[in-house]
Amino acid sequence: MKTKTSAPVKAKKPAKAQPPAKKQSKQSQLIDLLKKKTGTTIEEMMILTGWQAHTVRGIISGALKKRLGLNVVSIAGASGTRTYRITEVKTS
- Show me where the domains of the chain are located: 26-87
Cα separation, 38 vs 60, whole angstroms: 17
73 within 8 A of 61, measured Cβ to Cβ: no
**Domain 26-87 indexed as CATH 2.40.128:** no
Quick one: residue 11, left, alpha or beta (phi over 0 = left, psi -120 to 50 = alpha)?
beta
Res 44 pLDDT > 70: yes
Q: How many CA atoms lie within 13 A of 35 on its CB side?
A: 9
Cα separation, 74 vs 30, whole angstroms: 15
Confidence of residue 16 (pLDDT cuts 50, 70, 90): low
**Per-residue confidence (pLDDT) for residue 90, from 0 to 100:** 57
pTM, 2 dp: 0.68
Confidence of residue 67 (pLDDT cuts 50, 70, 90): very high
